[in-house]
């Protein structure tokens, strides 16, 4: 009986649901705008860099990248407002990281980093870790709002109270420019398929599966909205789903390309009229992109339909007094409608006592073999609980349970 009890305890402790709280902070875009530095930053960063992040998931020759004439030029996780906490090394060193389904690498700044940006963030001290293994291979990652260079290594990773042994990660040694200077996070933890990884070895979730730490090959995101009165920034649940955070049913969508979490979108309508993506188009579910990104011509048409006006810094603004009369925007995925109201797709900021309303849509032009790519980022995901199933290569979406329903 004692042996049986010990066996049961071992089996129970070998698999677990791992909860990683998400913290919500002011976006870098908001900080730059408040400091009067947004326009200079936009001029410094060319929109072509945005495409580099998404080019990596397609083999050479299968796609053609066109330079985007973008209405907003701070892209990807530069505007991310959510991050989680991890520990690297033995004893553990604390880092804040963007939990990003749009990339597959884990990296943090190194104590040997020579860039000014690293001085204002936590830096990994390899010589303080008894479990550190030097690799020494070089890597480089291009994001839409910046890039970095570094060397690879392996060490013990703690996330949500669970321990991963010999996790491959990158130590950033060069982060040029001002891209990461105002970031509240230190690095990035990618949750996409291994094909996207620049760093050789298993990404974090793959190691969670290989080392049998999670009970299911599934992770899920709840991203809160400040408008719902919730004090929680959100939660990443590794190993399953939390039924208290969403309302059934779950709409399961097959992954169409195993790089990003790419699915097929049926159409996009404005106030019930199927005026965008009428014949279907590829889309990715990306927690590391703050806004909703679409091809330039469709973004221009969408902004026209919702009455948004371009500004001299590349953003689109909307009259805040008109929000209640603006049309709904509906995304059709797997035959199901996902509707956003103006209050949900408009971002509000206050400067010098005056309220401004900015569009939650941005333009990009990225061609895939299936057609122009859409990116459903946090503006969309704040309304819908998202489930990422590596076992069956599918994405699940369900309506977020509102505080009054809990």
Q: Are residues 116 and 42 part of one domain?
A: yes
Q: Are residues 296 and 198 part of one domain?
A: no
If you average pLDDT over residues 64-68, what whole number do you get? 24
Residue 349 lies in a domain: yes
Give the residue with greater pLDDT, 63 vs 303.
303
Q: Are residues 259 and 136 part of one domain?
A: no
Residue 76 · residue 102 · CB < 8 Å: yes
Residue 230 lies in a domain: no
When pLDDT is cut at 50, 70 and 90, the band that residue 70 belongs to is very low
Q: Are residues 303 and 195 part of one domain?
A: no
Is 303 in a helix, a strand, or coil?
helix
Nearest to 245 by CA among 234, 253, 254: 234
Q: Which two tokens stand for residue 137?
A: 């291979």
Domain of 389, in residue numbers: 242-405
Q: Which of 266, 286, 378, 389 is catalytic?
A: 286
pLDDT at 147: 80
Q: How many domains does the chain have?
A: 2
Give the residue with greater pLDDT, 291 vs 58.
291
Q: Are residues 247 and 204 part of one domain?
A: no
Q: Are residues 173 and 46 part of one domain?
A: yes
Rg (CA), the chain: 21
When pLDDT is cut at 50, 70 and 90, the band that residue 83 belongs to is confident
Residue 7 lies in a domain: no
Q: Are residues 249 and 185 part of one domain?
A: no
105 is catalytic: no
Q: Are residues 172 and 123 part of one domain?
A: yes
Domain end marker among 194, 210, 226: 210
Q: Are residues 401 and 258 part of one domain?
A: yes
Residue 219 lies in a domain: no
Residue 266 lies in a domain: yes
Q: Can you tell me the distance from the alpha carbon of 201 to that of 185, in angstroms, rounded to the nearest whole number?
A: 24
Q: Can you tell me the distance from the alpha carbon of 360 to that of 339, in angstroms, rounded to the nearest whole number?
A: 14
Q: Which of 27-41, 175-189, 218-232, 321-335 ranks highest by mean pLDDT?
A: 321-335
Domain end marker among 210, 227, 258: 210
The owner of tokens 């371009």 is 310
pLDDT at 350: 78
Q: Are residues 258 and 206 part of one domain?
A: no
Q: Can you tell me the distance from the alpha carbon of 133 to that of 153, in angstroms, rounded to the nearest whole number?
A: 6
Residue 216 · residue 239 · CB < 8 Å: yes
Q: Which two tokens stand for residue 44?
A: 């410094």
pLDDT at 55: 46
Domain end marker among 162, 187, 210: 210
Residue 182 lies in a domain: yes
Residue-wise burial string across 294-315, b where 16 or more C-beta atoms lie within 10 A, e elsewhere: bbbebbbebbebbebeeeebbb
Residue 31 has pLDDT above 80, yes or no: no
Q: Can you tell me the distance from the alpha carbon of 87 to that of 69, in angstroms, rounded to the nearest whole number?
A: 40
Nearest to 257 by CA among 366, 370, 365, 335: 370
Q: Are residues 275 and 167 part of one domain?
A: no
H or E stretch including 20? strand 18-21
Residue 125 · residue 93 · CB < 8 Å: yes
Q: Which of 79, 100, 206, 389 is catalytic?
A: 100
Residue 162 lies in a domain: yes
- For the ranges 37-51, 94-108, 279-293, the lowest mean pLDDT is seen at 37-51
Q: Are residues 81 and 159 part of one domain?
A: yes
When pLDDT is cut at 50, 70 and 90, the band that residue 175 belongs to is confident
100 is catalytic: yes
Residue 38 has pLDDT above 80, yes or no: no
Q: Can you tell me the distance from the alpha carbon of 131 to that of 133, in angstroms, rounded to the nearest whole number?
A: 7
* Residue-wise DSSP of 390-403: TTTTEEEEEEEPPG
CATH number at residue 38: 2.40.70.10
Q: What is the mean pLDDT of the chain?
A: 82
Residue 358 lies in a domain: yes
Q: How far is CA 70 from CA 22, 73, 315, 371, in A?
A: 29, 6, 9, 18
């Amino acid at each position: 009986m004692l042996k049986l009890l010990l066996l049961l305890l071992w089996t129970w402790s070998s698999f677990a649901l791992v909860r990683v709280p998400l913290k919500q902070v002011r976006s870098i875009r908001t900080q730059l705008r408040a400091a009067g530095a947004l326009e200079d930053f936009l001029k410094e960063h060319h929109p072509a860099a945005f495409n580099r992040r998404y080019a990596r998931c397609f083999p050479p020759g299968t796609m053609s990248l066109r330079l985007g004439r973008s209405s907003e030029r701070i892209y990807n996780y530069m505007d991310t407002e959510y991050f989680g906490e991890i520990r690297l090394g033995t004893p553990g060193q604390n880092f804040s990281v963007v939990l990003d389904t749009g990339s597959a690498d884990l990296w943090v700044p190194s104590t040997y980093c020579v860039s000014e940006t690293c001085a204002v963030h936590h830096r990994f001290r390899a010589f303080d870790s008894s479990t550190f293994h030097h690799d020494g291979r070089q890597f480089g990652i291009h994001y839409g709002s910046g890039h970095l260079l570094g060397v690879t290594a392996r060490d013990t990773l703690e996330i949500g109270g669970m321990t991963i042994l010999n996790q491959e990660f990158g130590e950033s040694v060069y982060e040029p420019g001002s891209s990461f200077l105002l970031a509240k996070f230190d690095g990035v933890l990618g949750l996409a398929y291994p094909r996207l990884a620049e760093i050789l070895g298993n990404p974090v979730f793959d190691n969670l599966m290989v080392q049998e730490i999670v009970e299911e090959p599934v992770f899920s995101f709840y991203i809160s909205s400040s408008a719902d009165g919730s004090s929680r920034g959100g939660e990443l649940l590794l190993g399953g789903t939390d039924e208290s955070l969403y309302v059934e049913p779950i709409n399961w969508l097959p992954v169409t390309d195993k790089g990003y979490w790419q699915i097929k979108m049926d159409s996009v309508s404005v106030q019930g009229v199927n005026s965008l993506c009428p014949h279907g188009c590829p889309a990715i579910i990306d927690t590391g992109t703050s806004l909703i990104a679409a091809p330039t011509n469709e973004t221009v048409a969408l902004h026209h339909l919702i009455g948004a006006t371009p500004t001299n810094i590349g953003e689109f603004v909307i009259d805040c007094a008109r929000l209640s009369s603006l049309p709904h925007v509906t995304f059709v995925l797997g035959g199901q409608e996902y509707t956003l109201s103006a209050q949900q797709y408009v971002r509000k900021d206050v400067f010098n006592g005056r309220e401004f309303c900015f569009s939650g849509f941005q333009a990009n032009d990225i061609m895939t073999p299936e057609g122009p790519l859409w990116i459903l980022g946090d503006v969309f995901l704040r309304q819908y609980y998202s489930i990422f199933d590596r076992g069956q290569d599918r994405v699940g979406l369900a309506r977020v349970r509102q505080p009054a329903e809990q």
